[in-house]
Every structure is written in C-alpha cells, then in structure tokens.
Amino acid sequence: MNYDSDVIIVGSGPAGAAAALQLAEKTKPLVLDVGITGAHKASDQSYVTETLGTELEGLSHITGQYLTPKLRSPLFRYVTGRWRELSPIRSQNFRGELSLAMGGFANAWGSGLYEFNDEDLRGFPIRPADLQPYYKRLTEHIGISGGDKLFGDPLVPDGSLLPPAPLSGPSKILYQRSRDPRASVSLDRKGIHIGRQRLGILTRPHRGRAQYVFDGRDFFRPSKESIYHPGYTIRELQQCNKIDFKTGLLVKRFEELAEGIVVHALELETGAEVAFSTRALLIGTGAINTARIVLESFQEYTVKLPLLENPVSFVPFIELSALGSTLDRSSFTGAQLAVIFDGTQHPDRVQGSFYNLSGVLESDFFLDFPFTTRGNRYCLANILGAMGVLQLFYSDAPGPAGHLSLAPDGNLNVHCEQRRYGAVERLLIKSFCALGFWSFPFLVRYGEPGGSFHYAGTLPMSHRETMSGLATDPMGRLQRTRMVFAIDASTFPLLPAKNLSLTIMANAMRIAAQVPI
Amino acid sequence: MSLKSPIPAGESPTNAETSELGQFEVQYLCRRIFGVEPSSATIRRYAQFHEIYGTSLLTEKQVDVALLVDRNLDAEAIEFFLRTRQRKNTLTSKIWACAYFLEVQAVEDAASVPRLKPQKDNSAVTVILMLGWLSLRTAVKWVKGGIAVYRYNLA
C-alpha cells in the first residue's frame, strides 16, 4: 500500500494540533479536518455587525434557544457552524454544541489552562510524570500567563509563565479581600481558595504573537492572536511545511487492513467520498465525534458508550459598596479568578471561574432583574458594574446520567441529564457574604445538559479490555485495532472539575510521541 | 388594520406601507419604554428583526401590540405583567430587541442619544433607596398591566 502519509491526524482542535506539533519532529503528518473558519476579518467590521450581525444573528436567543454570549456572537458563529447538519445528534435533553471549526471549540474558549495533578488523574492509567514534559513544552509554545498556586505545587515551574493578567472590577475587589489574613484563614478552613486564573493570553509578546491589548471586544472578535487557540499551531506548522493540512473533509470511518489503514471522508464541496491511506491513525475530533467515527467504523449500533461532562451552575454576586459604579471595562473580559472548593460538602473538588460582566452587551441582562423594563434599565446602569458571576464546574464519572450510541441512520443518540447540587453553592454564598459579595440560593442557575461543552470519557483509557471492545489502552490505542489511536478527551476515564484543554493537549502529545512509526 | 397598527408577528415588511406601520410601533415602544427617539437605523433594524425572526415570534404567546399602540396603553406595565405570566411573548421579545438596537445606537450616535450607563457613579445608598422605590413601582405596574391585559383582551 502506498501511504498518503505515515500518520493521519483527524481534527485540528487542542488534541489534533498538539499531536501534530509532537509528530512534526519525526515525520510530516497529514491533518484532515472540516476546518470551518470565520468568513470575515474582525477588524473590518462595524460595531453593529460585530455585536448584532448583518442578519441580526446575535439576537437569535430572543426567540430561540439560549446560546452562550460568545457562541451566538456573529463573528464567532463559525465555531459551531454546520455541526447539526454534518454531525447530527438525536436527543431529548442534550443542549450542548459541537465544533467543526479549525482549532475546534477552543476558538471560543475561556482559555484557562491547568495541569492535572495526582488527584485529578485518579482513575487514569497514567500519572502526572507521564504528562509533565508535554506540559512544559506546551507552556513555552502557548505562552501562559501565571496564576496563583491553587492546586498544590504546579508541574510547570512559575519561572516559565508570563506575568499574570491584571485584575479589574469586582474580581479585583474579591481577590484583595480574600487576601486579608483573617478572611484567608476563614476561607481555607472551609476549603475555599481564591486566586488568579492561569490563562492562555499573552501579557507580553511571545513567539511572534502580540501582547494582549484590552479593547472590550473579546466576546465579539475572534482570532485575537494574543489569546491562544490551536488553530495558530496548525497554521504555524503548515507555514513551516511540517504538516499537510487538508480541510473541507468530514471523516466518516476507517478500515484497518493488514497493510495499513484506509480513512474514508466526505469531501464537503463535491459530496464525493475520498479515501486516504496511512500506517497510523490518530483521531482527535472531540469526545463525541471521535466516538461517532469509531462506532461507524465498526458498524456498532447497539453499543452504548459512556459520556461525561462537567455539570455547571452559575451564582451571581453583588458587591454592595460598588453599587452605582459604572462597569470597569479595563481588563480581560474572561474569567479573571479561579475559585476552588475542596471542603466536605461535596465528595470531589469543585472548580469555579469568576467573571466580571464587562464583556457582553448590557442588554443580555435586560430581563434578568425582577422589575419593569425601566427598573431593569436602572439596574443595568447601576448594578452591573458591581456584579460578578461564579461559574462552578463539577466532576463527572461514568453512570446512567450520560451515554451515547449510534443509530443506523447516522444520528447519534445522546442521553445527558441535568444535575443540580446546591450545597456548595449555599456555602459559597454564605462565605462570600463575609467578603461583601451578596447572593441568594434562589438566584443560582444550573446549566442545561451538555451545556458545559466539556465532553469526555466515550473511549476511556484502561489497562483492562472492555466487554464492548470500544475503549483505549493507556497508549490511547483503540481496542480491536493495531494502529488507531484516540487522542482527545474521549480517552479520559473520569472528568475532574478542572479546565481540561491543557491536559487534552499534553495527553495527545504523549500518545503521539509513542506511536510506533 | 388601522394606520397606526404595527407589524404583525411573522409578516415581512415587504412594502413602504408595512415599513411605515413598523415605524409607529418601534417609535412608540422606544419612547414609552426607553424615553429615546429611535434613529432611522434602529427603525430599519426593527423591521429586519421581524423579517428574520417573524416565524419564531409566531410560536410565542401572541400579544395584540396593534391595540396597545392604538390605545396608547402603558406598554411597560403590560409587558411586565405578561413577562411574569409567560416570558416568551411577542411584546417582551420586541422590547428586548429594541433594547439591543438602542444600545448599539448609543454607541453609533453617542451625541444624540443618552447612554444607558450614567455619566457618573451614583452612591450605593442612592441605588439601594432607588431599588426600594422600583420594587413599589413594579408592584403597582403589575396590577395596572394586569387590568389592561384583561380589559382590552391583549393576550
């Protein structure tokens, strides 16, 4: 068999880009991807086009389904474009989104980047030391701004991080108050730790990419090069001629033959089926789409695979002394603070991200206050600047709450349940009150099933063979195959409450480094 | 349909007459709710909103906005009453769209339209007192809106 490439990587998100980065050291991999990109240059847009869109697509939530502000932002629409058509899901309750964009969901991520430590890797057949060299390389490659040590000693030394991003508004007040010695002791006793986020944004120029300059448009302008996403890595490797990158291809399935692997894809422009041959195949299209390709390849229509996601909740807070102040629009509009809870109220650690509300349009909150429209307008003008929202992520493990299977008609049947906790939220509300940040349990909102966009665990890594034969070994190698590897979060047997992108990338590099080619 | 009748949900403003009818509606809502005169761009976007989302608006609880405008009723009170009963209703959706258009208009034309944000900070005490007053006002508006909805059979 004449191979198109020694290695084919499917997907250009965090896993695909990181695997390509690693493999480019010893071969020239071929990366296949749908690779949807934004059609317009953000800098060419008028304010109304950026915020509402030429077809008013930024207002779709008024009459339709809720979508996060960034994903419904007109110039970010490409991130979730065409997935319903190309990767159809049938579900009563799944409210998530998938991405077929070049760079994947990371085009619109919050850019929190953390390593998994011993506790996070409980249940994994690998240890932090297995990932450490790749964390180090990625830290240098991406350019990560430093945060506080909230998870014990980090695997990457502080010296390799960029200076932390500046704080502003309620985040700054919360951070300062949590540093008060008495408050700090009290929070520690309850298992609450508050610190700066580790972020993939450049606080100084790094490897040819410019320093982050705040302009208040983070939610409306994609491809700001100072905020990393994996598309930069793909583009960089392509420009150096270290990879072949083909887009407009939806990989449907693979066949492993004695002499190699044939990858079948749909060419979106022509509708024709095309095939590529290779010695080794690495699939990194995200936990759900990777499962789809594997199920389709084995024509498995009865197997149920587990599906993990981080259940989320949102707790709004008001800092009373800041009431009446205008929005502080002077800094990064993503989550500036990380809040960790490892107390006794929940069996696993819970991670939170604390956001100011300066990044989105004020009208997004127009109906979120309990007054008439005029009253709500007063609140927007006088309360928004004093508000922050804490988004909490919970861990997940295989169970009846999440699973998927492939139907013969090509639809994925996805089952995903909403989970509501509450004890941690109540404790945090009480504890934040002592810091001057007020909220009430009835204001807590719980994310829709699938709404965290953190999916994992469909092909979990294990030392043991599974009954279905659809799982991976610690190398990411798919059971029933010799040279097919899953490289994304589909291999995570458990999903801790922690930003997972950096670990997806490090694990993809670990697997890529060991592919026997 | 009277001359002052607004755009029915789901109907595209395909001619000058329909555009004019939509103009009455958006002007009425912007003046009554926001105290702001909509710019020509806002009026155009309002018509575009109906053109694009008209079909979706049809799936919501229908409110007789035409009658509301004709009778010069208290849109703020009626909207709040309806929102407490069923958030997905055409009046709330239209007013929410207006809020976005005026926010954008404020940036595009800062000189002619007051921004939603105050020019200077208010004190926390002022805000808390104001919130107390707004609670009282909201309760009164809810009753007023409820009476109007049942009296004129608006929804």
The answer to whether residue B11 sits within a structural domain is no
| Separation between Cα atoms, residue A367 and residue A378, nearest integer Å | 12
How many domains does chain B fold into?
Answer: 1
Mean pLDDT of A170-177: 96
Q: What is the token pair recorded at B114? A: 């007051």
Q: What is the fold of A5-514? A: FAD/NAD(P)-binding domain (3.50.50)
Q: How far is A452 from chain B (nearest CA, A)?
A: 24
DSSP string, chain B: --TT--PPTT----SHHHHHHHHHHHHHHIIIII--PPPHHHHHHHHHHHHHHHHHHHTSBP--HHHHHHTT--HHHHHHHHHHH-SSBHHHHHHHHHHHHHHHHHHHTTTTS--SS-SSPPPHHHHHHHHHHHHHHHHHHHHHHHHHHHHHT--
CA distance B75 to B66: 11
What pLDDT does A423 receive?
A: 94
Average pLDDT over residues A31-50: 82
pLDDT of residue A313: 96
Q: What is the pLDDT of residues B61-112, one digit of tens each?
A: 999 999 999 999 999 999 999 999 998 999 999 999 999 999 999 888 764 4
Nearest to A63 among B93, B100, B118 (CB): B93
Residue B7 lies in a domain: no
Q: Are residues B138 and A371, on separate chains, in Cβ contact within 8 Å?
A: yes
- Which of A91-100, A185-194, A423-432, A465-474 is predicted with the least confidence, judged by mean pLDDT? A465-474
Q: Which residue range forms the structural domain that includes residue B32?
A: 16-152
In terms of pLDDT, which residue wins out, B12 or A161? A161
Question: If DSSP codes are grouped into helix, strand and coil, which group holds residue A461?
Answer: strand
pTM over 0.90: yes
Instruction: Tell me: pLDDT of A203 over 80.
Output: yes
Interface of A with B (CB under 8 A): 47-48, 51-52, 55-56, 58-60, 62-64, 320-327, 361-363, 366-367, 370-375, 377-383
Q: Do B53 and A56 touch (CB under 8 A)?
A: yes
Of chain A, the percentage scoring pLDDT greater than 90 comes to 82
- Residue B4 included in any domain: no
Closest CA to A459 of A310, A311, A287, A302: A287
**pLDDT given for residue A42 in this prediction:** 55
Burial class (CB in 10 A: 0-12, 13-18, 19+), A156: buried
Residue B2: inside a domain, yes or no? no
In a domain, B10, yes or no: no
Please tell me the predicted confidence (pLDDT) of residue B110. Answer: 66
Answer yes or no: is B8 within a domain: no
pLDDT per residue as tens digits for the range B107-120:
887 644 444 454 55
- Of the pLDDT bands very low, low, confident and very high (cuts 50, 70, 90), residue A46 is confident
Query: In this model, does residue B4 exceed pLDDT 50?
Result: no
pLDDT in tens, A47-85: 888 899 999 999 999 998 888 888 999 999 999 999 999
The ipTM value here is 0.87
pLDDT surpassing 90 at residue A495: yes
- pLDDT of residue B10 exceeding 70, the answer is no
Q: Chain A: residue nearest B29 by CA?
A: A373
B32 in a structural domain: yes
pLDDT of B18: 56
The pLDDT tens digits of the residues spanning A329-351 come to 777 888 899 999 999 989 999 99
Please say if the pLDDT value at position A252 is more than 80. Answer: yes
The mean predicted confidence, pLDDT, of chain A is 93
pLDDT above 70 covers a percentage of chain B that reads: 79
Q: Where do runs of H (alpha helix) occur along A309-458? A: 373-382, 423-433
Q: Which of the four pLDDT bands, split at 50, 70 and 90, describes residue A218?
A: confident
Q: Confirm whether B1 is domain-assigned.
A: no
